Structure 1
Amino acid sequence: MRSRVELFEKIRRDRRLEDLSIRELADRHGTHRRTVRQALEDAVPPPRKVYPERPRPAIDEYVVVIDAWLIADEKAPRKQRHTARRVWQRLVAEHQATCAEVTVSRYVARRRVELGLETREVSIPQSHLPGAEAEVDFGEFYATIAGLVVKCWMFVMRLSHSGKAFHVAFATQAQEAFLEGHVLAFEYFGGVPGRIRYDNLKPAVIRVLKGRDRTESERFTALRSHYGFDSFFCRPGIDGAHEKGGVEGEIGRFRRRHLVPVPKVASLAELNELIAAADVVDDDRVITGRPITIGAAFAIETTELMGLPAEVFDCARLLNARVDNRARVSVRQCFYSVPARYAGRRLPVRLAARTVEVYDGPRLVASHERAVGRYVEVLVLDHYLEVLKTKPGALPGATALAQAKARGVFTASHQSYWDAARSTRGDAKGTRALIAILLAHRSMPAGALIAAMDRAVTSGCLDPETVLIDARRAMAPLAPVAAIGALARYDRPPPSLADYDDLLTGSDS
């Protein structure tokens, strides 16, 4: 379908070349003579005729009522104001209106704008100096970790000037993850921006006060003091989302670009390796409207960042937990094992974003990777060996044994030796023999013990003490064998006993 401009061009060309009349031009182009006259007068078609507003007999008698309701809504609570559907329902119920719902919704949408009840907020474009500002936020995503679909939280810090962003995944968005994300981001950037924008995250803000004032958490204040940056908090809710739109958009872009399809990994550490590789790939990306890549812009910005302090900020939270009768401490609804001798005691726990460490005074007694989820047990078989010596029947069904097999700590060699020992010594004695070797793992290399167990199974000599002796023999380096000729330098002449004979006979020899 040709446009009116093209039609006008053809009419004017035919008149100019063939000198056709208005009637002939109208017949040739299949249009009204009035259109031909308009084309001959001006190459640009005239604007369309403005028609008067059509009557609205179905709704005209209710417009005064509807306007009154909309104006009164200004004083009503925001969540209890009229929607277009509710306006239509009231018209039908209270005024016996017969108009369609769509007629009411179209009028309400237009009338709200005319009455000034709905306004579109305008944002001001911003320019950011190198190293002056960054934005921080958490974004959620899902990943398949060890066969389970788990909800994870991605900490993101984005430098406003270059657009360079740091991403790291945590199993939680608690304060220890929030603080550790900052520490890791500053190390990644090699410096600290002058000011960081936040929304009102609970790890940083205890209470939102009037305006921009906030009651901040002590740990966040300590982090800010340690690194020397300033904080800026956006307006609460969706009204303040545009104030840190850079990181909001970055979370969505990164999730669509690098986390689709849903990643499948064996551990959270492997997931973070994938995310770190994606950060490197993004260095070659060019943000729309900018002349250079993100990596090139970051190389310029990094020189303007503040330097890192000499000491790293400690992000961990210190807790105290009681060891239950299963030699576990409960931390954030997950259970972590400790050596069985601590059952019934209260021990200090150092809770970090990715690790859980348990102490007995200054001594570290257990260290675990932080669990993902709730009511998850993280157990170490070594913590239960002293108990299993007296309860060997509990080993086959032990949860700690199943987890040791899953982690590869309890190998096929251990299982072969255990099966052989039980078949020759009986279940209890065979299991105790295995436990004796497992206890030796605390002081001897695992490779030497595994090799010794394999030789024991092959030879049929399954005594645990023999296995340990064999492992120590393999560990001890043998003295080098010297050649016989090299020992000549140690030769000495045989001693003479003539002096003793002189003493006995009293004569000179």
Structure 2
Amino acid sequence: MSKVDLYAAIRRDSRAGLSKRALQHKYGVGFRTVEKAMSSAWPEPRKKLPPRPTRLDPYKGLIDAMLRADLRAPPKQRHTAKRVFDRLVDEHTAAEISYGMVRDYVRVRRDEIRLAAGFGVAKAFVPQSHRPGAEAEVDFGDVTVRLAGETVKCVLFSFRLSYSGKAVHRIFATGGQEAFFEGHVHAFRVLGGVPTGKVRYDNLNSAVAQVLGFNRARVETERWTAFRSHFDLEAFYCRPGIEGAHEKGGVEGQIGYFRRNHLVPVPEVASLAELNEMVDRWDQEDDARRIRSRPRTIGEHFAAEAPLLKPLPMEAFETGRLFSLRVNRYSQIGVRTNHYSVPVRLIGKRVRVMLHASELVVYDQGVEVARHERLMGKAQSRMVLDHYLEVLIRKPGALPGSTALEQAQAAGKFTPVHDAWWAEARRLHGDKEGTRSLIEVLLLGRHIAHEYLVAGLASALRAGAMTSDAVALEARKSADADDGVTALTLSDPRSGLLPARAPGVTSLTARRIARLPPDTRPLPSVAAYDQLLRHPRPHSRTSHEGEMP
């Protein structure tokens, strides 16, 4: 029985006529309790016990002095709890206290001292309302993924509508301006429109060239100004530093939620394209989520918000950055500290490079000549073996140690079947001619799909035909039959594990005859020419002496 219930029972029985002594006996309480119950229905509040002394008490004045000195110290040279603890131990031999005691005291006392000195007020947040389709928030966040077996750090772009909480995400290799623009375009396409009001941003370099003082004035980059003008987008820039983070707290929290719920454990993917397909699916699944105590889901709120967005412009905006670069003697171009290969015929020429967030495309006179996935690190190179085949056919000795061959092997483009065929070709024809035969086979890859070319190599290797013509014939047979040869998984193509196919290499003539329809015509005859034999041919006269008649 609580004390309130006890007082109520005593007062009820007193009104019924029980004496105070009888009440004491009935409820097992003393005379003072009965007197208090008779005088008030509410028990007296429990007296607060005085604080228990702690081992930190002798040093609290010293700690307060340090924290007051921090009010006049530079922000980056103020006491941390660890520094306060170290000073107490070193300067005052406070061996009986622990770091945890000091940390807990400093965490509470620092704000109290600042408020008492008039250096700020308690943090307070004012609830905000957002009109449907009017406002949004944008931000980047760091994420770690396992990409093609390697752990890399990428950036997560998030565009969040403030009213519904509908968010669109995209993961990029870098957080440059190309990713900033492509993330917006992807978000607008998914949402079906552009917010009619302000979109909140940090002062990131992709949009802001200079912050003017501590107000909202900014000098924007030219491409960002053109982008905003194209989509009729109104930008609102938060205050610099951590103090402005709360001005777009919705997207800040959204990035944390997305990272914790969809990127744990660390995803393992083969490419960023595969990862972004997963991100799109996760965004759709989040439409069924409710934010805090809202009565409707994100998807239901967005259904009401989507018709109020501004329509997208009909013309597309080029989000990539265009460069004009000269190809060096290694048949490479340098882009943002990294190097990418192009066909050797372009050495010394200028090419146009369109740099996107996740890839770059190289053009020569308006024709695409190379496409590379963008490198994530610095001072790296990406080479395609096919770009060097024209020079390797003249210098076959450069192939075994080439970086392009090493990268092709690591990427799985140069398979164990290639290696086995190459080894056999060198054994039969010598290193130079055997390597040249392999390069001729690699040139076939420009016209024959990779899987069919590997199947042709396997068939030619089994038949002992170490020529590019034999490989081309068998590759085309595999393409015509489309029998699903998967020679890529074979570790030893000479081990007998190759898929069964017709033995030997069929000649082109036999192949053509085999595919002709049956001929039902009679066999040809020369009987019609027998009439020429009825009239003997006259002997020709000799015109010169000594000539045969």
Separation of aligned partners in 2, 1:85 and 1:18: 67
Question: Contact 1:145–1:265 at 8 Å: present in 2 too?
Answer: yes
Q: CA deviation at 1:86?
A: 7.6
Separation of aligned partners in 2, 1:147 and 1:126: 45
Which residue of 2 is the match for residue 261 of structure 1? 265
Question: Contact 2:332–2:340 at 8 Å: present in 1 too?
Answer: yes
Q: 1:113 to 1:60 in 2, by over 3 A?
A: farther
Separation of aligned partners in 2, 1:94 and 1:412: 70
One-letter code of the match for 2:168? F
Partner SS for 1:435: helix
Q: Which moved more, 1:372-381 or 1:100-109?
A: 100-109
Which residue of 2 is the match for residue 394 of structure 1? 398
Question: Contact 1:199–1:234 at 8 Å: present in 2 too?
Answer: yes
The superposition leaves residues 148-170 of structure 1 with CA deviations (integer Å, 9 ceiling, x where unpaired) of: 21111000000111111001101
Separation of aligned partners in 2, 1:320 and 1:231: 31
Question: Contact 2:342–2:369 at 8 Å: present in 1 too?
Answer: yes
| Aligned with 1:203 (options 192, 203, 206) | 206
Q: CA deviation at 1:451?
A: 4.1
One-letter code of the match for 1:209? L
Q: Which moved more, 1:444-453 or 1:190-199?
A: 444-453
Q: 1:67 to 1:115 in 2, by over 3 A?
A: farther
Q: 1:29 to 1:332 in 2, by over 3 A?
A: farther
Partner SS for 2:171: strand
Q: CA deviation at 1:458?
A: 2.9
Partner SS for 1:142: strand
| Aligned with 2:421 (options 417, 422, 439) | 417
Q: 1:24 to 1:402 in 2, by over 3 A?
A: farther
Separation of aligned partners in 1, 2:262 and 2:236: 29
**Alpha-carbon RMSD:** 4.0
Q: 1:79 to 1:5 in 2, by over 3 A?
A: farther
One-letter code of the match for 2:424? A
Q: Which moved more, 1:319-328 or 1:242-251?
A: 319-328
Separation of aligned partners in 2, 1:204 and 1:154: 17
Q: Which moved more, 1:373-382 or 1:94-103?
A: 94-103
The superposition leaves residues 83-118 of structure 1 with CA deviations (integer Å, 9 ceiling, x where unpaired) of: 788889999999999998959857665343333334
Q: 1:318 to 1:39 in 2, by over 3 A?
A: same
Q: CA deviation at 1:418?
A: 2.0
State the identity %: 48
| Aligned with 2:160 (options 154, 158, 161) | 158
Q: CA deviation at 1:445?
A: 4.0
Are residues 1:299 and 2:303 paired? Answer: yes
The superposition leaves residues 247-297 of structure 1 with CA deviations (integer Å, 9 ceiling, x where unpaired) of: 001001111111111111122222212211111110110112212111121
Separation of aligned partners in 2, 1:227 and 1:173: 21
Which residue of 1 is the match for residue 169 of structure 2? 167
Q: 1:88 to 1:162 in 2, by over 3 A?
A: closer
Separation of aligned partners in 2, 1:132 and 1:104: 45
Which residue of 2 is the match for residue 505 of structure 1? none
Q: 1:111 to 1:465 in 2, by over 3 A?
A: closer
The equivalences for 1:412-491 within 5 A come to 412-468=416-472
The superposition leaves residues 454-486 of structure 1 with CA deviations (integer Å, 9 ceiling, x where unpaired) of: 33223323222344356567769979856778x
| Aligned with 1:144 (options 143, 146, 170) | 146
One-letter code of the match for 1:395? L
Q: CA deviation at 1:435?
A: 0.7
Which residue of 2 is the match for residue 113 of structure 1? 115
Q: CA deviation at 1:328?
A: 2.2
Q: Which moved more, 1:475-484 or 1:114-123?
A: 475-484
| Aligned with 1:231 (options 228, 235, 238) | 235
TM-score, normalization: structure 1? 0.82
| Aligned with 1:46 (options 17, 41, 44) | 44
TM-score, normalization: structure 2? 0.76
Partner SS for 1:172: coil
Question: Contact 1:59–1:104 at 8 Å: present in 2 too?
Answer: no
Partner SS for 2:288: coil
| Aligned with 2:186 (options 179, 184, 187) | 184
One-letter code of the match for 1:203? S
One-letter code of the match for 2:221? S
| Unmatched tracts of structure 2, length 5 or more | 481-507, 523-527, 529-549
User: How many residues in Structure 1 have an aligned counterpart in Structure 2?
Assistant: 485
Are residues 1:365 and 2:363 paired? Answer: no
